[in-house]
Amino acid sequence: DQQVKQNSPSLSVQEGRISILNCDYTNSMFDYFLWYKKYPAEGPTFLISISSIKDKNEDGRFTVFLNKSAKHLSLHIVPSQPGDSAVYFCAASSNGSGNTGKLIFGQGTTLQVKP
């Protein structure tokens, strides 16, 4: 049972335009959500996160939106750059009582930004 889903395996965007990556989750106990970027043969790099008490968090070109009622989050990258081409993983955790530190990852979305 996949608790975190990224339904789009790939996304192609023109340089300078907006990239929108989507993620859905099923477990209502999740209260912290993260986005990681991964280049081939490297470890995931933390990009941005959002706590369930917020609906938006912004850091430079990256903005994450959380819709708790829909159990949906999205990552917006504006403007997209060729260097953003990578695999993006959405992850979720439950940091309440009984926190195990376990991150649940989505399957990833490969973003290609064309010059």
Partner 1 sequence: DTEVTQTPKHLVMGMTNKKSLKCEQHMGHRAMYWYKQKAKKPPELMFVYSYEKLSINESVPSRFSPECPNSSLLNLHLHALQPEDSALYLCASSQRLAGGSTDTQYFGPGTRLTVL
Per CB under 8 A, residues contacting partner 1 are 32, 34, 36, 41-46, 49, 51, 89, 93, 95-103, 105-108
CB atoms within 10 A of CB 1: 4
CB of 33 to partner 1, least distance (A): 10
Nearer to partner 1, 5 or 79 (CB): 5
Cβ–Cβ under 8 Å, residues 31 and 98 = no
CB of 69 to partner 1, least distance (A): 21
Cβ–Cβ under 8 Å, residues 4 and 104 = yes
